[in-house]
Amino acid sequence: MPAPAVPLRGHTLDVDALTVRYGGFTALDAVSLSVAAGEIVALLGPSGCGKTTLLRTVAGFITQASGRVSIDGAGIDDLPANRRRVGIVFQNYALFPHMSVADNVAYGLHARGERGPKANARVAELLEMVQLGAMAQRRPAQLSGGQQQRVALARALAIEPSILLLDEPFAALDRSLRLDMQMEIKRLQRQLGLTAILVTHDQDEAMSVADRIAVMQRGRIDQLGTPVEVYDHPATPFVAGFIGTTNRLPGTATAEGITLHAGATLALPHTLPPGSAAMLTVRPEQLTLASDPAPNAWPVTLGLAVPLGGQTVREVRCTDGTALRLTEPRRGAIRDLGASAHCRLAPGASPTLFPHTEE
Say whether residue 22 binds other proteins (CB under 8 A).
Answer: no
Q: Find, among 234, 261, 276, the residue nearest to 324 by Cα.
A: 261
Select from 60, 234, 284, 351 the one that contacts other proteins (CB under 8 A).
Answer: 60
158 near 190, Cβ under 8 Å?
A: no
Select from 67, 77, 107, 232 the one that contacts other proteins (CB under 8 A).
Answer: 107
Query: Shortest approach of other proteins to residue 179 CB, angstroms?
Result: 25
Interatomic CA distance for residues 75 and 79, integer angstroms: 9
One symbol per residue from 158 to 197: x for binding other proteins (CB under 8 A), - otherwise; what is it?
xx--------------------------------------
Say whether residue 88 binds other proteins (CB under 8 A).
Answer: yes
Say whether residue 122 binds other proteins (CB under 8 A).
Answer: no
Q: With respect to other proteins, which residue has the nearer C-beta, 70 or 265? A: 70
Say whether residue 351 binds other proteins (CB under 8 A).
Answer: no
Query: Shortest approach of other proteins to residue 81 CB, angstroms?
Result: 4
Q: With respect to other proteins, which residue has the nearer C-beta, 83 or 330? A: 83
Say whether residue 86 binds other proteins (CB under 8 A).
Answer: yes
Say whether residue 9 binds other proteins (CB under 8 A).
Answer: no
Say whether residue 85 binds other proteins (CB under 8 A).
Answer: yes
Footprint on residues 242-301 left by other proteins (CB under 8 A): none
Query: Shortest approach of other proteins to residue 238 CB, angstroms?
Result: 30
Say whether residue 118 binds other proteins (CB under 8 A).
Answer: no
- Contact region with other proteins (CB under 8 A), list: 46-54, 83-91, 135-143, 299-307: 83-91
One symbol per residue from 128 to 157: x for binding other proteins (CB under 8 A), - otherwise; what is it?
---------------------------xx-
Query: Shortest approach of other proteins to residue 93 CB, angstroms?
Result: 9
Q: Which residues bind other proteins (CB under 8 A)?
A: 59-61, 80-88, 90-92, 94-98, 107-108, 110-112, 155-156, 158-159
